[in-house]
Amino acid sequence: MVIRVLFVCHGNICRSPMCEFVFKDMVEKAGIKDKFVIASAATSREEIWGDVGNPIYPPAKAELKRRGIGATAYTDFNGKRAVQVTKRDYETYDYILCADSANIRNTTRITGGDPEGKIRLVLDYSDRPGQSIADPWYTGDFVTTYEDIIEGLTGFMRYLREEGVLDV
């Protein structure tokens, strides 16, 4: 069984791509990347011009590189471009994990609802459910954002194992 995970934030240039590539790094290091499909998307089109999205914001790339992420073919984020979440994504993904509550509202609106309870916050899997990943667009603090992401994704991985979704 393949577990499909979509990370969502407002523009798909900071928090959600950081989540995407941090999680790819985690599953690759755990030797289970073949068990996942991992992607990220935006709720807005602000970072998408025509059909071409902007790349990951340079300070977000720098933080990922500083943490050793992006060095493998699987975690190489250089080709990542912003895309917008779609209604079809709801059927495609098992988990749609958002950076903040506005992302949940907008993702739910775009996908037409959340009857299966797939749309959650990344930090819902941590000891801080209901909280947002710090938004570095406003703070410039990519370290805190990275730490929030690690906290949420470590909890998400634990959840997958405890629930028997991930059998490793």
pLDDT below 70 — which residues of the chain? Answer: 168
Judge whether 128 counts as a catalytic residue: no
Residue 166's pLDDT is what? 85
CB count in 10 Å sphere of residue 70:
18
* Candidate list 9, 14, 19, 98, residue with the active-site label: 9
Residue 63's pLDDT is what? 97
The parent domain of residue 71 ranges over 3-162
Taking Cα atoms as reference points, which of 93, 144, 92, 94 lies closest to residue 123? 144
Judge whether 135 counts as a catalytic residue: yes
Task: Provide the domain count of the chain.
Answer: 1
Please name the residue that has the structure tokens 């506005």: 102
**168 assigned to some structural domain:** no
Judge whether 98 counts as a catalytic residue: no
Amino acid at 2: V
The string of pLDDT tens digits covering residues 82-94 is: 999 999 999 999 9
**167 assigned to some structural domain:** no
**77 assigned to some structural domain:** yes
Residue 164's pLDDT is what? 85
Which CATH number covers residue 98? 3.40.50.2300
